Chain A
């Protein structure tokens, strides 16, 4: 796998197949944690972190455990269990070894343990038949794409707070409309030919 194809995987995961805006995965944190830029950054950091590590570990589990025994159909449940324990493990590790990072990611780490975006990226790694490096790059880029969408949304929502929104649209409705407009904008990337 050369640099070029890794680049394609990255660009595709960040923009063309953005997890939130194109695949509609991870909508819950996208709506829930995008009120303030600070928390959006924390959440984004945690997602990048977990997606990258989960991609690596689940790829190994798939290749050396599931494929070996012909247990592909157990993929979903095994991945959920593996990701959940992995995040738990990382949390404990961070609290002991890198308390500063633990404080920065804080509550967001356990929050995203069972998020569909994480499971989605790990399963996508397998269905797209990525190599190990490819899977890790895909996980990292998917996390970056998620963070990008989250930060843009938080920026817009902070401005929306001050805007004169008709009362019927105040709060969640205008947020959904904003999200769909952002999604439309990202559709502009689809069909783009890279490489």
Chain B
């Protein structure tokens, strides 16, 4: 009897104390935090710079983080958050990772035989890795391990290539790569230099067939001065690049990769053609052309000069009537 009484009383007292405590110590939590968290991708990748989606949601509601801070979520998530918070989302351009190395790992003569753990960071500790090229991919796939979205594939030569459709630009691979050859670039840009070697041309040729030799052919042909050779290495300024792929065409070692080229017959870009039936003469295409290759007066059918055109495809996207035909789209 006493047992039941004591236990019952104890339970009652503790229950009451807890009930009172939950009132006394009630912490008001912003209901919007939960709503914001619900629209986040829940990958907890940390690309936003916070500990996870929950922490980011809290920071956004408090106004400490940008609405478009969630890189994997992209524009959709940003506008969903904006809807919840009643703010306007800035425009976010999707970014993807790019590995600046062709990764001919299987063709590299190795400096020594590495038998340690199959991990780039571990291999890096031994004289910067076993690969002859001190700049390039080591081929132990630490980036693939790190990728939460399974967006990095192995090429036939043992290098790595980012699958740009799966990549959300979280940057996990960038952290994982000890050679620092991965960076983020705007997803809309189609042309990349797949080499990070700063060695002189002759030295590069000795160890790698697909390395940048710093010949500056790309620099000379670029219509917008977007590609420059620094320290024997061509680097594209993605802010200026119009993705015309001219540099990829002249590159003697094929180290510049044009993603659109494969869509054309013979793997080479051809200029777009304006359909005379659909063109309404709005001049939008002519205004958008970076090399002034389109001519035509208002309300008249426009024409593209194939001699001037660099086949960048910017006009194709600008045309409101889909009157410009091009294999690249």
- Across the interface, do B10 and A96 meet the contact criterion of CB distance under 8 Å? no
Partner of B21 from A77, A81, A93, A162 at Cβ < 8 Å: A93
Q: Tell yes or no: B291 within 8 A of A by CB.
A: no
Contact of A162 with B119 at beta-carbon distance under 8 Å, contacts A81-B11, A88-B18, A92-B21 already known: yes
Kindly list chain B residues whose C-beta atoms are within 8 Å of the C-beta of A65.
6, 10
Which residues of B110-152 are within 8 A (CB) of A? 116-117, 119, 122
**Smallest beta-carbon distance B23→chain A, Å:** 10
Contact of A89 with B17 at beta-carbon distance under 8 Å, contacts A69-B2, A95-B25 already known: yes
Bound CA–CA A65/B7 (angstroms): 10
Q: Tell yes or no: B22 within 8 A of A by CB.
A: yes
Q: Tell yes or no: A187 within 8 A of B by CB.
A: no
Kindly list chain B residues whose C-beta atoms are within 8 Å of the C-beta of A69.
2, 6
Q: Tell yes or no: B14 within 8 A of A by CB.
A: yes
Produce 1/0 per residue, B3-25, CB < 8 A to A. 10011001100110110011011
List the A residue with the shortest CB-CB distance to B2.
A69
Bound CA–CA A139/B91 (angstroms): 56
Q: Which 10 A-B pairs have the closest CB atoms?
A: A96-B25, A85-B14, A92-B25, A92-B21, A95-B27, A69-B2, A89-B21, A96-B27, A85-B18, A71-B3
**Smallest beta-carbon distance B73→chain A, Å:** 24
Contact of A93 with B10 at beta-carbon distance under 8 Å, contacts A74-B3, A85-B17, A162-B122 already known: no
Kindly list chain A residues whose C-beta atoms are within 8 Å of the C-beta of B10.
65, 78, 81-82
- Across the interface, do B25 and A97 meet the contact criterion of CB distance under 8 Å? yes
11 contacting pairs across A/B (C-beta < 8 A):
A70-B2, A71-B3, A73-B3, A85-B14, A85-B15, A85-B17, A89-B17, A92-B21, A93-B21, A95-B25, A162-B119
Which residues of B1-55 are within 8 A (CB) of A? 2-3, 6-7, 10-11, 14-15, 17-18, 21-22, 24-27
**Smallest beta-carbon distance A174→chain B, Å:** 15
- Across the interface, do A89 and B18 meet the contact criterion of CB distance under 8 Å? yes
Q: A81-B14, A162-B119 given. 6 additional CB < 8 A pairs?
A: A78-B10, A92-B18, A96-B25, A96-B26, A97-B25, A164-B117
Residues of A in contact with B, size category:
20 to 34
**Smallest beta-carbon distance A73→chain B, Å:** 8
- Size of the chain B interface, CB-CB below 8 angstroms: 20
Bound CA–CA A92/B6 (angstroms): 26
Bound CA–CA A92/B14 (angstroms): 14
- Across the interface, do A71 and B11 meet the contact criterion of CB distance under 8 Å? no
Bound CA–CA A78/B7 (angstroms): 7
Which residues of A61-81 are within 8 A (CB) of B? 65-66, 69-71, 73-74, 77-78, 81
Bound CA–CA A78/B2 (angstroms): 14
Bound CA–CA A65/B3 (angstroms): 11
List the B residue with the shortest CB-CB distance to A66.
B6
Bound CA–CA A164/B115 (angstroms): 11
Produce 1/0 per residue, B46-73, CB < 8 A to A. 0000000000000000000000000000
**Smallest beta-carbon distance B26→chain A, Å:** 8
Contact of A71 with B25 at beta-carbon distance under 8 Å, contacts A81-B11, A89-B18, A162-B122 already known: no
Produce 1/0 per residue, A91-102, CB < 8 A to B. 011011100000
List the A residue with the shortest CB-CB distance to B23.
A92
**Smallest beta-carbon distance A137→chain B, Å:** 26
